[in-house]
Amino acid sequence: MKNYILVLMLPVFFSYSCKTTKKEDAGGNGKNSGFLTSETFHKPVKDKELFMSTTEVVPLDTVYISKDTLNIFTKKIFGCDADNFKLIWNGDLGKASPPQTAVRLFQLVDGACKERHKFHLTFNISPLKLKGDTSATKTTLIKVGGWSKMTTYTIN
Per-domain boundaries in the chain? 20-154
**How confident is the prediction for the chain on average, in pLDDT?**
76
Q: According to the CATH classification, is domain 20-154 in 2.60.40?
A: yes
At residue 94, does pLDDT exceed 60? yes
Q: Quickly state the pLDDT bin for 40 (edges 50, 70, 90).
A: confident
- Report the alpha-carbon distance of residue 66 to residue 42 in Å, rounded: 15
**What was the pLDDT predicted at 17?**
40
What's the whole-model pTM score? Answer: 0.73
- Report the alpha-carbon distance of residue 86 to residue 104 in Å, rounded: 8
Secondary structure percentages of the chain, helix, strand, coil, to 5? 15, 35, 45
